[in-house]
């Protein structure tokens, strides 16, 4: 009787373990691809080019990591404000699109190690001069909904003195309204804002950082095996120079 009971306990333990096992990496390799969620307007990290193809720094990184894993990287544009919901609902396998690692997000997702540094800074029109945080008092300021730029403004002392904080689905929409004179300033990622301004040269930007941050790839909390694999592949790419080649291609030296 004791042997029967012991056997049943062992079988039950195996069942519980199998249900709780992390199969994230195994599942990706089995299906042969992983799906990346992104805001497809966030140049140079991930965006559509003139031919409608999704390209960018993060796109090249994801494709190279997938290649080293022996799988394919697929890309799905999402609304940024709902992208973590898409991740947790398993509509995508990860968010790889210049997502800032923040304490609030770390409660919802599992991040890789930071792979790129960034700042939140203030963009204004050429005819308005360069703005500091203090200059935002009484101004209409634009941010992307759900972005770390929006969070930086919310956390700043100047928040209560801003005339109006307007939130947009994309940073591009906010910058277009800035150029059209419907905004006085936009707070957003330094990397993306400066890339946008390279071709147009219509904007000024501050030297003051509202927030210093790092970008990470976001995955589901339980997907540790897949997260570890991405970290390992990125480390390999740094060691053999592939990471720096991709970085120089999109961000310069």
pLDDT in tens, 125-179: 999 889 999 999 999 999 999 999 999 999 988 899 999 999 999 999 999 999 9
pLDDT exceeds 70 at position 5: no
Q: What pLDDT sits at residue 207?
A: 83
pLDDT at 17 exceeding the cut of 70: no
Closest CA to 116 of 102, 130, 99: 99
For 23-117+213-251, the fitting CATH number among 3.40.190.10, 3.40.1160.10, 1.10.1060.10, 3.30.1330.10 is 3.40.190.10
Q: What is the pLDDT of residues 85-94, one digit of tens each?
A: 999 999 999 9
- Tell me, yes or no, if the two domains 23-117+213-251 and 118-212 fold the same way: yes
CA distance linking residue 129 with residue 123, whole number of Å: 10
Could you read off the pLDDT of 187-236 as tens digits, one per residue?
Answer: 999 999 999 998 888 899 988 889 899 999 999 999 999 999 999 999 99
- pLDDT tens sequence across 24-41: 999 999 999 999 999 999
The fraction of the chain above a pLDDT of 70, given in percent, is 92
Supply the pLDDT for residue 199: 80
Question: Is the pLDDT score of 44 beyond 70?
Answer: yes
pLDDT at 20: 65
243 band by pLDDT with thresholds 50, 70 and 90 = very high
**Residue ranges covered by each domain of the chain:** 23-117+213-251, 118-212
Banded model confidence at residue 7, pLDDT cuts 50, 70, 90: very low
Please give the pLDDT value at position 252: 87
Percent of residues, the chain, with pLDDT higher than 90: 84
**Per-residue model confidence (pLDDT) at position 145:** 94
Question: What does the pLDDT read at residue 201?
Answer: 85
156/77: higher pLDDT: 77
Task: Indicate the average pLDDT of the chain.
Answer: 92
SS3 of the chain: CHHHHHHHHHHHHHHHHHHHCCCHHHHHHHHCEEEEEECCEECCCEEECCCCCEECHHHHHHHHHHHHHCCEEEEEECCHHHHHHHHHCCCCCEEEEEEECCHHHHCCCEECCCCEEEEEEEEEEHHHCCCCHHHHCCCEEEEECCCHHHHHHHHCHHHHHCCEEEEECCHHHHHHHHHCCCCCEEEEEHHHHHHHHHHHCCEEECCCCCEEEEEEEEECCCCHHHHHHHHHHHHHHHHHCHHHHHHHHHHCC
The answer on pLDDT for 6 being more than 60 is: no
CATH of domain 118-212: 3.40.190.10
Q: What integer pLDDT is reported at residue 161 of this predicted model? A: 94
Residue 151 burial (CB < 10 Å; 0-12/13-18/19+)? buried
């Amino acid at each position: 009787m004791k042997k029967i009971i012991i056997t049943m306990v062992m079988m039950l333990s195996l069942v519980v373990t199998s249900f709780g096992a992390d199969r994230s990496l195994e599942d990706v390799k089995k299906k042969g691809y992983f799906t990346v969620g992104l805001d497809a307007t966030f140049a140079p990290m991930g965006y559509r080019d003139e031919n409608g193809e999704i390209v960018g720094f993060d796109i090249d990184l994801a494709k190279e990591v997938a290649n080293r894993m022996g799988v394919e990287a697929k890309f799905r544009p999402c609304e940024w404000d709902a992208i973590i919901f898409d991740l947790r609902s398993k509509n995508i396998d990860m968010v790889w699109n210049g997502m800032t690692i923040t304490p609030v997000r770390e409660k919802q997702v599992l991040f890789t190690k930071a792979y790129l540094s960034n700042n939140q800074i203030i963009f204004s029109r050429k005819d308005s001069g360069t703005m500091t945080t203090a200059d935002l008092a009484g101004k209409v300021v634009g941010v992307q909904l759900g972005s770390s730029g929006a969070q930086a403004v919310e956390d700043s002392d100047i928040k209560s003195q801003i005339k109006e904080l307007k939130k947009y689905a994309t940073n591009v929409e906010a910058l277009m309204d800035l150029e059209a004179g419907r905004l006085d300033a936009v707070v957003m990622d330094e990397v993306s804002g400066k890339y946008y301004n390279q071709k147009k040269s219509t904007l000024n930007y501050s030297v003051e950082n509202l927030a210093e941050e790092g970008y990470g790839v976001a995955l589901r909390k339980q997907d540790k095996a897949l997260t570890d694999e991405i970290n390992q592949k990125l480390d390999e790419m740094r060691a053999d120079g592939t990471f720096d080649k991709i970085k120089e291609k999109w961000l310069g030296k």
